[in-house]
Amino acid sequence: MCDRQCPACGSGKHAEIYGLSGFRVVCLRCGALLANRRDGEAAPTSLRSEADVAAWVAEGSGVLEGADARDPRHDVMFGHNRWPLGMLAC
């Protein structure tokens, strides 16, 4: 498991969740979504091309600002998006 800290509550405990729509890292103390990676297999069927699916995956993947892993290699799969803390939907 990667070494990251929740910017909302300061906890270092989190869970990695693999599901049908992708992969996410969630804070075990406050439930904040720390990182998200969409799975292209879960893309809406209205997306016709592989480029559209790739764009959809990239748009919904990223890391909560301040929740970056200490080792940057652990965040490569989440892409370059960084969402501000104010966007938390708890």
Segment 34-78, tens digit of pLDDT: 999 999 999 999 999 999 999 999 999 999 999 999 999 999 999
Phi, psi of 87 (to 5 degrees): -90, 5
- pTM of the predicted model, to two decimals? 0.87
The full length of the chain comes to: 90
Asked whether residue 7 is domain-assigned, the answer is no
Q: What is the pLDDT of residue 1?
A: 59
Asked whether residue 89 is domain-assigned, the answer is no
Asked whether residue 1 is domain-assigned, the answer is no
Q: What is the pLDDT of residue 11?
A: 96
Rounded CA gap, 8 and 85, in Å? 7
What is the mean pLDDT of the segment spanning 13-30? 95
Residue 89 burial (C-beta neighbours within 10 Å; 0-12, 13-18, 19+): exposed
Tokens for 55, please give them. 């764009």
The count of structural domains within the chain is 1
- Domain span at residue 32 reads 14-84
Rounded CA gap, 23 and 33, in Å? 11
Asked whether residue 40 is domain-assigned, the answer is yes
